[in-house]
Each structure stands twice: as C-alpha cells, then as structure tokens.
C-alpha cells in the first residue's frame, strides 16, 4: 500500500501533511511511529477509571497528533471528545454522549492503525 492509499482509506489528507512536512519519507516515518503513541491507550484507561481530567489530557494529545498528521476523521472525533471532557468532572460529563464520542474515536483509531499496519507490509 502506498502512503496516499493509506490516507485515503481512513479519511486523512495526505496532501495537507505533505505540504507541511514536504518529504514523503518523513511523513511515512511519522505515520508509522503513530502506532507507538500512547494517547489512545491512555484515554481508554483514564475513561475506564473515571479520571476525566486525565482523559481530557489524553484526548487532547490524540487530537493534536492527528491534526499534525492530517488524520482528519480521527482528529475530528477526538476533538469532539476533547471538548466534552474539557473541565469535566464525573458528575459534569454526559456519560451517554461520552460513550458515543468514544465509540467514534475507537472506530476512527482502528481504521487508522489498520491502514498503517498495511502500509508497513
């Protein structure tokens, strides 16, 4: 799989990231490195523990990485979750909406990571 095909498969913008980084080899190296980024795992763990402040930080980190790499769909879904969790405490977070947003983040994350693994082959 080529880099452009990888991005297309998960709703990313290869053109945008290439404009910023101007080197396909660097883009590909950073995309592959995304597989080791702990933000998603940290987000899942924090939500499982009900630690909404830590979940906010993890969602915000995930959103930032995705924006930098132009992972458009994952950036958008993690942004929605970030805003829901901003300043949130357990009683202030709409749990149903949080679950809905997290489900979308998970779907988008899995699409990205699956495509990156195919890119590595």
Tens digit of each residue's pLDDT (9 = 90 or more) over 69-110: 999 999 999 999 999 999 776 567 889 999 999 999 999 999
Residues ≥6 apart with Cβ < 8 Å to 91: none
Q: Which two tokens stand for residue 106?
A: 């998970």
Q: Which domains does the chain have, with CATH numbers?
A: 3-120 (1.20.120)
Q: Which pLDDT score, from 0 to 100, does residue 92 have?
A: 79
pTM metric for this prediction: 0.93
Within a 13 Å sphere around the CA of 112, how many CA atoms are in the beta-carbon half? 30
């Amino acid at each position: 799989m080529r880099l452009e095909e990888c991005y297309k498969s998960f709703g990313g913008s290869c053109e945008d990231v290439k404009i910023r980084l101007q080197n396909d080899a660097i883009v590909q190296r950073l995309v592959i490195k995304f597989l080791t980024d702990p933000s998603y795992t940290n987000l899942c763990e924090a939500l499982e523990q009900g630690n909404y402040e830590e979940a906010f930080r993890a969602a915000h980190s995930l959103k930032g990485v995705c924006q930098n790499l132009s992972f458009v769909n994952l950036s958008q879904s993690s942004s929605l979750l970030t805003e829901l969790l901003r300043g949130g405490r357990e009683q202030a977070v709409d749990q149903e909406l949080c679950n809905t947003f997290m489900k979308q983040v998970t779907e988008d994350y899995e699409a990205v990571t699956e495509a990156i693994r195919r890119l590595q082959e």
